[in-house]
Structure 1
Amino acid sequence: MTSAIPIVDLEEFNLTKAPEDVSDDVKRQLAAQIIDAFSTVGFVGLTNYGIPQDKDPNYFKNQHKKGDISGPRYLYYPAITSQTEIKPNQIRCGEHSDYGSITLLFQDDVGGLQVEYLLNLRTRKGEFVPATPKAGTMYVNIAEALQRWTADKLISTVHRVVIPEAPSDREKVRMSVVYFAQPDRDCLIQCLDGSDKYEPITSLELLSMRLRATYLE
């Protein structure tokens, strides 16, 4: 008999709080529930994570029907040889977050990807930690449209790519395949909790705004 998928309620944890404002007992209880779910069933359902429970279950599916501005990208980082000039503090891709709903990342075994672990959700201060490659897995990043939909209950993942420390990894070509799931261009993105934390904006307007900020400003 198949076990039911466990449900983890994030209301007590309250993602709008800074980690230091959540009691150790709540953190331990949440961690124990998630560990138990993944070690026994392999899946977990989440509630109270920023999207109203009465929202049409097909709501997000309907915002991605056309796929008119979603798509893959193939990323190539050349090998670094002893003749390669490396500037102080040089990195391969500067820190940034993605623009759409989620990003799916498939990477090879060459390290370098780092994600920002937020130490304080209020100030958005954190530290970068390695996103170590694991065979047969993919990374899922929350992007800005989903952050806006959930009024910051889910935070867009800031990440970067640095030069690997191990000489053996530096000498390898690094390649990855990324799929950017972007809401359809005419989709209106607004806070689903009814708040006005972000002004409504279409997916295409959000994408254009972020591209201008990244490449022109």
Structure 2
Amino acid sequence: MTMIQNVYCVGRNYKLHAAELGNDVPDEPMIFMKPSHAATALNGQVLSMPQDKGEVHYEGELVLRVKRAYEPGVSVDELIGGMALGIDFTLRDVQTVIKKKGHPWTAAKGFKNSAPISGFQDFPGAEAAAAEDFAVHKNGSEVQRGSIKDMIFSLQEIVDYIGTNYGLGENDIIFTGTPAGVGPCAAGDKFELYWGDRLLGSCVIG
């Protein structure tokens, strides 16, 4: 895997996902970060998850890789060099507690192996990417299906917001948000991530 720099994540970027967790739909992109050490390859391996901190939830997402420094006015098609699928693993019980306390989300979102990513594919452009769905299968059954057409904030809005407020550079990656269907996982569960009918990556929970 190419050396990853910053790992940006967009929260609540699908209305149905916000609703399933009882969250309000945000007025602007809701950005959080994971340590680069949270990222790992999604290549069929066993991923160790914290098993002593409550429920671990899966959140399948489209992931973008930046190929050049952000400048105002640059299009997402010019900025993004690759796309992949990934899982934003979340310690949901931990997140519930720290949200109530107003604490940062790092403890719930930033643990090791919490950001597995498939191999990157050439980015076909936002319009072409919108023509294809992505899906997450758990133990052989589809549990999530999403399309960038259903995002609250478009890919262009996401890169403009992050680039303007935080900066974007080569090999930064962006988890663009998860559709509805998130849920818990347990040791032995197998996850497979599909772009259309193409399997891009898989893992087993350890």
Shorter-chain TM-score range: under 0.3
Higher strand share: 2
Larger Rg, first or second structure (1 or 2): 1
RCO higher in structure (CA 8 A, sep ≥6): 2
Q: Structure 2 length normalisation: TM-score? A: 0.24
